Amino acid sequence: MPIRISGLVKVHNEIRNRLQRGLPVAEHHRFRDQVRTIVLAVETICRNEGTTPNDLPGPSRRAYEALKNLDLRVIPEPQTDGLHAQRKIPHIQNVTAIVRDAGTDMWHHLSRYRGEGLRAGSLIKRFESTIDTVDEVCESYDCRPWELAAPTRHAYSWLRFLSEADNLALHLRALWLVQEALPRVGFTPGEWILSPMAMRSLFRMSPKGGRISVRCNEAFVTFGEEFWTPFVLRSRNPRQDGLGDLVGEFANKPQFIETLAALEGPVLPAEESAVGQHHDLNSAFDRVNRKYFDSAQTRPTIQWSLTPSARTFGRFQFSQNRILVASSLDHPDVPSFVVEFVVYHELLHRVHGIKKVNGRSHVHTSAFRGDEREFERFEEAEAFLSRWSRKLA
């Protein structure tokens, strides 16, 4: 039975995060010693148990190999603006409650805020006041909004988005279109409640006690009656009437992706999360975009994963317009064209979207596979990934 080394994966993640933030030159020597000590400790434990690091469970083995293969000659330094000088991340109370209350207020008192009156302006002032509070707290802790806890981060991005008058108008229009359609399904605004918000998923519906509470991604407010009327009509029997299909179809549209980018812009992680020890994902995207898409693709959020993987080397998150690439590919033995192939594959997911056939979702369609083979070194890249997976497994 393989031995288990508790905490090794966690240590690897912490070291990777430190490298992404950068280390002051004065800490480089100690950091190198720390990494070498951890690697040596793993090897010593294995030797004492009569085994080798290659026999460790998959996650521990990949963490060990990632640490073993770190290029300790090149250690990034922190940003000169002191972005990461103090690593304590604040917990900011009441931001999510303020957002929740604002959403409820707009839904139940919609007539107050629609139009060009002062009421909508008062909403923006409320939003700006909370934004200023978050910014001040972040500044005092030397952190940035993307480092906040997820609920606070989402609430902050929502407030920033709606603090712009045009975006607030879109939000209020969506609420109005839904309320106009509700009588067609036999509901009132007190029985069927919509809350567009910044969230990871596309939508969630919670029927309870004769009421339906619907949370959906704020980016859908970019659409008009063509989306919201069928959304309401299909909400009575969502599975039977294909509500998920409707949502998926519109989430693939360029308007949604562009609005999502505007929504998440204030809380996107630092660019260094795309820069690994051996490969830069932003550069890989630029090369792929020029060669295969005539530079027509807008840049998604693109990051190395926090934990290495032996099987899934890339993933495209539709709801967040984000590409995650397995950190197990950030290795000196992995050629650049292989990383580019993974980025190309994930971009194809954004281009082709999700197809529904007989109620089932398909992402690797024949059209997708045909375009995938357009990659110049397709077979070579596929073969390398198969070998690499077996090596890591």
Q: Please, what are the domains in the chain?
A: 8-68 (no CATH), 95-265 (no CATH), 270-392 (3.30.2010.10)
Burial class (CB in 10 A: 0-12, 13-18, 19+), 185: middle
Residue 362 β-bridge partners: 355
**How does pLDDT run across 238-256, given as a tens digit for each residue?**
888 899 889 988 887 878 8
Question: What contacts 18, CB < 8 A, 6 or more positions away?
Answer: 31
> Residue 127: its pLDDT value, please?
94
> Residue 107: its pLDDT value, please?
95
H helix or E strand, kind and range, residue 216: strand 211-217
Is residue 85 within 8 A of residue 33, CB to CB? The reply is no
Which residue positions in the chain have pLDDT lower than 50? 81-87, 272
> Residue 1: its pLDDT value, please?
62
76 alpha-carbon distance from chain centroid:
24
Both tokens assigned to 386: 């198969």
d(CA 289, CA 273): 19
**How does pLDDT run across 25-49, given as a tens digit for each residue?**
878 888 888 888 888 888 888 888 8
d(CA 152, CA 144): 12
Angle at 286 between CA 282 and CA 290, to 5 degrees: 170
Question: What contacts 126, CB < 8 A, 6 or more positions away?
Answer: 98, 102
